[in-house]
Chain A
Amino acid sequence: QQQVKQSPQSLIVQKGGISIINCAYENTAFDYFPWYQQFPGKGPALLIAIRPDVSEKKEGRFTISFNKSAKQFSLHIMDSQPGDSATYFCAASKGNTPLVFGKGTRLSVIA
């Protein structure tokens, strides 16, 4: 059973455009929702995270939007740059349980 469903699988965005990646979760007990960024040959690195007590969190060009009633959260990358080309993973956890990751979205930002 996949607890965190991520879409799309791949995404191509023009430089300067907005990249949007979506995640849906099933377990209403989840209380922590991070996004990780992974470059080829590297391990994932935390990009931004949110808790369900807020609907949005912004850090620079990266924004998480959270919809508790729909059990969905999304990552928005504003003014997308070629350097943002990577694989992005949403994840979720509850209490002190380990993170459960989505399958990933491969983002390509083209000039």
Chain B
Amino acid sequence: EAGVAQSPRYKIIEKRQSVAFWCNPISGHATLYWYQQILGQGPKLLIQFQNNGVVDDSQLPKDRFSAERLKGVDSTLKIQPAKLEDSAVYLCASSSQVASNTGELFFGEGSRLTVL
């Protein structure tokens, strides 16, 4: 079974530039998450999708971050304009269950963003 695919693995940009990350979840997984992991910290939820609808985006900085999951499969996370503090690893995860506590979260390897 193929895992969660993410790209690009690494990205370096100047502040105020834009960047986009792509995620393809495990086939059949209805729930998709984007987490931000700053160096030395645990993952922090940015947004949760159930199929193509947003379940929780309360911690997404909506003035600069946006995410979509068209057709309920793959997803894109965009940052525009980027700030220095956005330097982090962006993790995508998927689950076959609606509720996170009834199903295991499967994480991708992440996209490491460095903002200079």
List the interface of chain A (C-beta within 8 A of B).
4, 6, 31-32, 41-46, 89, 91, 93-104
What's the minimum C-beta distance from A104 to chain B, rounded to whole angstroms? Answer: 5
Q: What is the CA–CA distance of A93 and B107 in the complex, to the nearest angstrom?
A: 17
Most chain A Cβ neighbours within 10 Å, of B41, B101, B104, B107: B101
Q: What is the CA–CA distance of A45 and B107 in the complex, to the nearest angstrom?
A: 7
12 pairs across A/B with beta carbons < 8 Å? A42-B109, A43-B91, A43-B108, A44-B43, A45-B106, A98-B48, A101-B42, A101-B44, A103-B40, A103-B41, A103-B42, A104-B40
- B42 near A95 with CB under 8 A, answer no
Q: What is the CA–CA distance of A86 and B99 in the complex, to the nearest angstrom?
A: 27
Q: What is the CA–CA distance of A99 and B45 in the complex, to the nearest angstrom?
A: 8
List the interface of chain B (C-beta within 8 A of A).
4, 33, 40-45, 48, 56, 91, 93, 98-101, 104-110
What is the chain A residue whose CB lies nearest that of B42? A101
Most chain B Cβ neighbours within 10 Å, of A43, A45, A99, A102: A43
Q: What is the CA–CA distance of A103 and B4 in the complex, to the nearest angstrom?
A: 23
- A43 near B42 with CB under 8 A, answer no
Apart from A41-B109, A43-B107, what are 17 other A-B pairs with CB-CB below 8 Å?
Answer: A42-B110, A43-B93, A43-B108, A44-B43, A45-B106, A89-B42, A96-B98, A96-B100, A97-B56, A98-B56, A99-B105, A100-B45, A101-B43, A102-B42, A103-B40, A103-B41, A104-B40
